[in-house]
Amino acid sequence: MELSQTIRVSGHEHVQASHESTLEVTSDDWLTPAGDCILAVEADTVPQEFDLEYKRACQDATATVRANIRVLTEDGSFETTIEGRGDPELTFDNDRSAVIRTSEFVDDRTVMIDADAAATDIGRDLVSALSEGAAATLVLSVEQWTIVDCLCLSKPRFLDRLAS
């Protein structure tokens, strides 16, 4: 079963998305040029507000967590997906921002670790649209496996899942 959290955000003129190990969205309505990891502002949902079931699913070290970022403009649609994992240390306590990390570092803002991309890896068309103030949607999703899911899998697929 897949669980998800949707965060609506806005771009800002200072969006650079040049940080090499993190990507952040914040509920703040401002951004300074020093915020090189911040992809968007005015997030309508913060980690503290995520559903409890979603948080618990992400607190599994084997959980695959995905972040899909989508921007729709008059010039087109720009989208990217980042994949990482959960961790038992994720607290989802922060009331301002959500951070995706390529490292295993965890603090109260962290929503994904071991991500396969950071701010600098985001497509420049998407970043340009956000630097022009475009609205975007960030959907965080995690696949939660239940015993029923495992019982419904064929034996080889079940063993593959156990190995991952």
CB-facing half-sphere around the CA of 158: CA atoms within 13 A = 10
pLDDT string in tens for the chain (164-residue length): 899 999 999 999 999 999 999 999 999 999 999 999 999 999 999 999 999 999 999 999 999 999 999 999 998 999 999 999 999 999 999 999 999 999 999 999 999 999 999 999 999 999 999 999 999 999 999 987 665 555 555 556 556 656 66
Query: Whole-angstrom Cα distance, residue 75 to residue 73?
Result: 5
Quick count: other Cβ atoms within 10 Å of Cβ 158?
15
Q: Retrieve residue 162's tokens.
A: 């156990």
Alpha-helical runs (H) found in the chain: 52-58, 124-131, 147-152, 155-163
pTM: 0.88
In order of their start, the domains of the chain are 2-163 (2.60.120.630)
What is the spatial order of strands in the sheet that 97-101 belongs to?
Answer: 38-40, 22-26, 97-101, 110-112
Beta-sheet pairing, 97-101 with 110-112: parallel
